[in-house]
Amino acid sequence: MKNFTIYRLGIINNSKEEQLLSQFNGTNDLLKEFNLYYESLFKEKIDYYDNKGNKRTFSISSDIEFLKEERKIISDLDSAYTGEKFEIRNENSNSLNYSVSENELQSRKMFSFIYIPKNLKRGYVVFENKSKHGVKIIFEREFNRFLKMRGYEQSNFIMTPGLNFNYLSNMIEKGKLKKVRLIDFRYSNEVQLSLWGNIELKNNGEEIRELKFTSKTENSLFKNELYKLFFSKVDKEEKIIFMNQYEVDEISFEINYNDSSKTFYLKNNNKMRANIEVSNRLEYLDREPTYSSKKKVAIELIQEILGYGSSGFDQVA
């Protein structure tokens, strides 16, 4: 199963104002800065440690496509980590070819595709997903550091999930509703005095109540109501009225479709994962996706997001 993850890219100044990416510092083009950043990753890898104490590296060893007129940058990122032992064996005889120690770097290449439109405040990056090789945090942190080294002290780079609402709409419509969680951000008197088993109290002050479905009909009614709410303009400052019965601060729900699950949030879309299963959209050679098909699919995914926004859902997206 092949997955891509899409993030929206933005620059805000110290006054929290979004900037035009093609002239984010008044005159400077973020596309050019990304090209310089990728060149720096090609010249020198970044070493860091994860929360388990394992050494990791982040770099580029592949060619970098800088398409200035199309405003795209495309390359494979190299992500590596230590901390695990494993053996490489012959496919036919099962004889040992090589034993990897826990101090050796295990490296994977991950496709990346950056698009920085002209005269707009949001760009996009598409990453290929690889297990144990998440790059969002290191990418965001190190590019911010790179900008500061370049002298852009007033510019802060941010990445948020680039949600494909066409994909999400199809997933809700055709998928199975697995869970619904009603969330309040402060403990109510009812909860403080109750011993109900279906209420979970979080240390951050959240009160979470998970709803149980008594029938397929109820499940379907809940899903239809959640679909309407998800694609409506939910006021982030107001309570959510659900099924004319519940009044809560937030609702999350889980949908299962084609052996993958996704958790949706009605208000805080930034908590959602923007991964999309793309196996059937890619072309393969020797069981591996071709580089050209990865580029094609990345372009299509970004176009789908931009097209959906122009249909009147840009405030949701």
DSSP state string for 167-236? HHHHHHHHSEEEEEEEEESS--HHHHH---TTEEE-TTS-EEEEE--SSHHHHHHHHHHHHHHHTS---T
Query: Residue 124 falls within a domain, yes or no?
Result: yes
Query: Residue 317 falls within a domain, yes or no?
Result: no
Average pLDDT over the chain reads: 89
Residues 6+ apart with CB under 8 A from 113: 72, 73, 74, 125, 126, 294, 295, 298, 299, 302
195 and 308 inside one domain: no
Quick one: what percent of the chain has pLDDT higher than 70? 91
CB 90 within 8 A of CB 48: no
- So what's the pLDDT on residue 212? 81
79 and 46 inside one domain: yes
pLDDT above 60 for 289: yes
pLDDT above 80 for 297: yes
Query: Residue 266 falls within a domain, yes or no?
Result: yes
What mean pLDDT comes out for the span 39-52?
Answer: 94
73 and 171 inside one domain: no
- So what's the pLDDT on residue 170? 93
Q: Return d(Cα 134, Cα 121) in angstroms, integer.
A: 25
What is the layout of strands, in order, in the sheet containing 207-211?
A: 199-201, 207-211, 176-184, 250-257, 260-265
78 and 31 inside one domain: yes
- So what's the pLDDT on residue 194? 45
Q: What is the residue range of 48's domain?
A: 3-163+274-312
132 and 173 inside one domain: no
91 band by pLDDT with thresholds 50, 70 and 90: confident
205 and 145 inside one domain: no
186 and 114 inside one domain: no
46 and 137 inside one domain: yes
Q: Is 137 helix (H, G, I), strand (E, B) or coil?
A: helix
What mean pLDDT comes out for the span 232-253?
Answer: 92
Q: What backbone torsions phi and psi does residue 91 show, to the nearest 5 degrees? A: -60, -35
Query: Residue 203 falls within a domain, yes or no?
Result: yes
Q: Is 115 helix (H, G, I), strand (E, B) or coil?
A: strand
- So what's the pLDDT on residue 317? 36
Query: Residue 301 falls within a domain, yes or no?
Result: yes
88 and 237 inside one domain: no
Q: How many domains does the chain have?
A: 2
195 band by pLDDT with thresholds 50, 70 and 90: very low
What mean pLDDT comes out for the span 229-239?
Answer: 91
CB 284 within 8 A of CB 199: no
146 and 189 inside one domain: no
pTM of the model: 0.85
195 and 225 inside one domain: yes
- So what's the pLDDT on residue 308? 62
